Structure 1
Amino acid sequence: MKLEAIPRLSLGYLPTPIEKMERLSAELGITLSVKRDDFTGFGGGGNKVRKLEYLMADAVAQGVKVLITTGGHQSNHARMTAAAARKYGMKPILVLRGNRPDLYQGNLLLDHLFGAEIDFLDPDAYFTEINPRMAHHAAEAEARDEKAYIIPLGGASALGAMGYVNAVKELSEQYAAAGTPAPRYLVAPVGSGGTLAGLHIGCSLYWPETEVVGIAVTGSAVPFSERIAVMANAGAELLDLEKRWTADDIRIENDYIGPGYSIPSDAGNAAIKLAGNREGMLLDPVYTGKAFAGIIGCVEKGSIEKGSSVLFIHCGGSPALFPYAGLLTSDLAG
């Protein structure tokens, strides 16, 4: 099946712009550009809108009434899924990792404003309870004769990955229109793997000489390289492509996770301040700050060569800045 034949709803404000980062380029010694997918607009913006365009088309076609997904407290995916559910007349249920907070901030506040039902899971029990808990909510909906639809963590599925196959197509058209050669490296955060799977498929079709680099922002029981290869292969099958990937084909940088998922890192916080000070660009402590720290680190150790062209996928996440205000302003103390 061709990409254009897969049902898709229009949710994002696309195409998003590509911004050249002249001051950061000079400082890092690379030619750096950013794909501003924080500007996708819908539901507060971010990369998950691209996946939801395909996943929501499937849900709407099935007559879904209850949309269920999962993520962390500051999940961009959960926030945008809640917004998409409301746009199409569905009830959103979010099963989130973390105990109920005293104060709803950042994405949690937006989840509440979208009217999502939020089910908080103890962090230690999350990975064993998450699938049964989502299945429980689906069963309750079906018992009320309301069709339910479960979207996996991060929208990470072969269908969701089509959003970033389409993004690479969009990028290739933008670069061609500008007369600019494809970048040497295409870099993105990795939290669930769907974005990177789509980028691999897309680059195989439109930018075969570009290397995809994933910067992990969380750990994974199954190595990301294995998970993403499986997802990319399923996406390739969906598109009737012969191309297949193994774990060895998937480059993941694992040195920038910090203390853990949704726990800010010193390097990530420094990257947030650097991007803000040099380019007026907002990154966040959960995803993009750590990923940008990964670019800096890779340049420093030479695995992204000085002088190379690098395109960073800005996945959004600025609402997640606000819950960490105390940490990010600790330099003001005293």
Structure 2
Amino acid sequence: MKLEDIPRLSLGFLPTPIEKLDRLSAEFGIDLSVKRDDFTGFGGGGNKVRKLEFLMADAVAQGVKVLITTGGHQSNHARMTAAAARKFGMKPILVLRGNSPAVLQGNLLLDHLLGAEIDFLDPDAYFTEINPRMQHHADQATARGEKPYIIPLGGASALGAMGYVAAVKELAAQYTAAGEAAPDLIVAPVGSGGTLAGLLIGCALFWPDTKVAGIAVSGSAVPFSERIAVMANAGAELLDFDRRFDPADIRIENDYVGAGYAIPSLEGNAAITKVAQAEGMFLDPVYTGKAVAGLLDCVKRGSIPQGSKVLFVHCGGSPALFPHAELLTQDRTN
């Protein structure tokens, strides 16, 4: 099946722009640009909009009435899934890792405004309870006569990965129109893995000389390279693409997670401040802050060579800045 033949609903404000980061490029000795997927627009924007264009086409075709997904306390994916549910007349149910807070801030505030039903799971029990809890909500919906649809964490599936296959096709057209050569390397945060799986397939199809690297922002019981290879291979099969991805060939940088997923790191916070003050661009403490910190450290260490042409995928997430205002203003002097 060709990419164009897979059902897709238009949600994102596409194509998103590519921005040159001239000041950081000069400081670090690379040619650094950003794919501004924080500007995808729908539901507050972010990379998950691209995945939802394919996942929602499947849900709408099935006549779904209850859309169920999961994520962290400040999940961008959960927020955008709730928005997509409302756009297509569905009820959103979000099963989130973390205890119910006294005040809803950041993405949780937006979830509330969207009228999502939020089911908070104790962080220690989350990974054992998450699938049974989502299935419980699905069973309840079925009992009410409402068709449910469960979207996995981060929209990470072969179908969801098509969003970033399409993104690479979009990028290739943008670079060609600008008369620019393809980047040497695409770098993206890795949480659930679907974005990187799509980038791998997309580069194999449209930019075969461009490498892909992921900066892990969380730990993983199964190595990310193995999880992503499974998704990428399933996605290639969906496209009848005769290409197989080996975990050993998938580059994941695992040294920038910090204390854990959604726990801000000193390096990530420093990157947030640096990029804001150097380029006027906002990162977030969960994904992009840690990922840019990793990217820049790889340049310093030489694993991204000087002179490389690098494209960073900005996956959004600025609402997650606001719950961490106190932490991010510790250097305040007035």
TM-score, scaled to structure 2 = 0.99
Q: Which runs of 5+ in 1 are unaligned?
A: none
User: Match for 1:143: what amino acid?
Assistant: A
- Residue 112 of structure 1 is matched in structure 2 by 112
- Residue 238 of structure 1 is matched in structure 2 by 238
Question: For 1:51, what is the secondary structure of its paired residue?
Answer: helix
The answer on 1:156 being equivalent to 2:156 is yes
User: Match for 1:211: what amino acid?
Assistant: K
What pairs with 1:33-182 in structure 2 (closer than 5 Å)?
Answer: 33-182=33-182
- Residue 267 of structure 2 is matched in structure 1 by 267
Please report how far the alpha carbon of residue 52 of structure 1 lies from its aligned counterpart in structure 2 after TM superposition.
Answer: 0.1
Q: Which runs of 5+ in 2 are unaligned?
A: none
User: Match for 2:122: what amino acid?
Assistant: D
Please report how far the alpha carbon of residue 332 of structure 1 lies from its aligned counterpart in structure 2 after TM superposition.
Answer: 1.5
Question: For 1:13, what is the secondary structure of its paired residue?
Answer: coil
Please report how far the alpha carbon of residue 151 of structure 1 lies from its aligned counterpart in structure 2 after TM superposition.
Answer: 0.1
- Residue 281 of structure 1 is matched in structure 2 by 281
Please report how far the alpha carbon of residue 99 of structure 1 lies from its aligned counterpart in structure 2 after TM superposition.
Answer: 0.3
Whole-Å Cα distance in 1 between the matches of residues 27 and 107 of structure 2? Answer: 32
The answer on 1:219 being equivalent to 2:219 is yes
Whole-Å Cα distance in 2 between the matches of residues 111 and 207 of structure 1? Answer: 37
The answer on 1:248 being equivalent to 2:248 is yes
- Residue 292 of structure 2 is matched in structure 1 by 292
Whole-Å Cα distance in 1 between the matches of residues 216 and 260 of structure 2? Answer: 10
The answer on 1:189 being equivalent to 2:194 is no
Please report how far the alpha carbon of residue 130 of structure 1 lies from its aligned counterpart in structure 2 after TM superposition.
Answer: 0.1
Question: For 1:92, what is the secondary structure of its paired residue?
Answer: strand
Whole-Å Cα distance in 2 between the matches of residues 2 and 175 of structure 1? Answer: 22
Whole-Å Cα distance in 1 between the matches of residues 250 and 333 of structure 2? Answer: 42
Question: For 1:298, what is the secondary structure of its paired residue?
Answer: helix
- Residue 326 of structure 1 is matched in structure 2 by 326
User: Match for 2:295: what amino acid?
Assistant: I
Deviations 1:31-71 (A, max 9, x none): 00000000000000000000000000000000000000000
Question: For 2:131, what is the secondary structure of its paired residue?
Answer: helix
Please report how far the alpha carbon of residue 28 of structure 1 lies from its aligned counterpart in structure 2 after TM superposition.
Answer: 1.1
Question: For 2:186, what is the secondary structure of its paired residue?
Answer: strand
Whole-Å Cα distance in 2 between the matches of residues 111 and 333 of structure 1? Answer: 34
Please report how far the alpha carbon of residue 248 of structure 1 lies from its aligned counterpart in structure 2 after TM superposition.
Answer: 0.5
Deviations 1:73-96 (A, max 9, x none): 110000000000000000000000
User: Match for 2:102: what amino acid?
Assistant: D
Question: For 1:264, what is the secondary structure of its paired residue?
Answer: coil
Whole-Å Cα distance in 2 between the matches of residues 227 and 260 of structure 1? Answer: 19
Whole-Å Cα distance in 2 between the matches of residues 310 and 170 of structure 1? Answer: 17
Question: For 1:330, what is the secondary structure of its paired residue?
Answer: coil
Whole-Å Cα distance in 1 between the matches of residues 21 and 46 of structure 2? Answer: 19
User: Match for 1:18: what amino acid?
Assistant: I
Whole-Å Cα distance in 2 between the matches of residues 297 and 212 of structure 1? Answer: 16
Whole-Å Cα distance in 2 between the matches of residues 333 and 140 of structure 1? Answer: 53
User: Match for 1:156: what amino acid?
Assistant: A
Please report how far the alpha carbon of residue 249 of structure 1 lies from its aligned counterpart in structure 2 after TM superposition.
Answer: 1.3
Question: For 2:331, what is the secondary structure of its paired residue?
Answer: helix
Whole-Å Cα distance in 2 between the matches of residues 124 and 246 of structure 1? Answer: 32
Deviations 1:276-316 (A, max 9, x none): 00000000000000000011110011010011100000000
Whole-Å Cα distance in 2 between the matches of residues 216 and 111 of structure 1? Answer: 25
Deviations 1:158-215 (A, max 9, x none): 0000000000000000000011000001000000000000000000000111110000
- Residue 309 of structure 2 is matched in structure 1 by 309
TM-score, scaled to structure 1 = 0.99
Question: For 2:310, what is the secondary structure of its paired residue?
Answer: strand
Please report how far the alpha carbon of residue 118 of structure 1 lies from its aligned counterpart in structure 2 after TM superposition.
Answer: 0.1
Please report how far the alpha carbon of residue 256 of structure 1 lies from its aligned counterpart in structure 2 after TM superposition.
Answer: 0.5
- Residue 6 of structure 1 is matched in structure 2 by 6
Whole-Å Cα distance in 2 between the matches of residues 18 and 185 of structure 1? Answer: 15
Please report how far the alpha carbon of residue 333 of structure 1 lies from its aligned counterpart in structure 2 after TM superposition.
Answer: 5.8
Whole-Å Cα distance in 2 between the matches of residues 190 and 164 of structure 1? Answer: 13
Runs of 4+ aligned residues of structure 1 deviating over 2 Å after TM superposition are: none
Whole-Å Cα distance in 1 between the matches of residues 214 and 113 of structure 2? Answer: 32
Question: For 1:331, what is the secondary structure of its paired residue?
Answer: coil
**% identity of equivalent residues:** 79
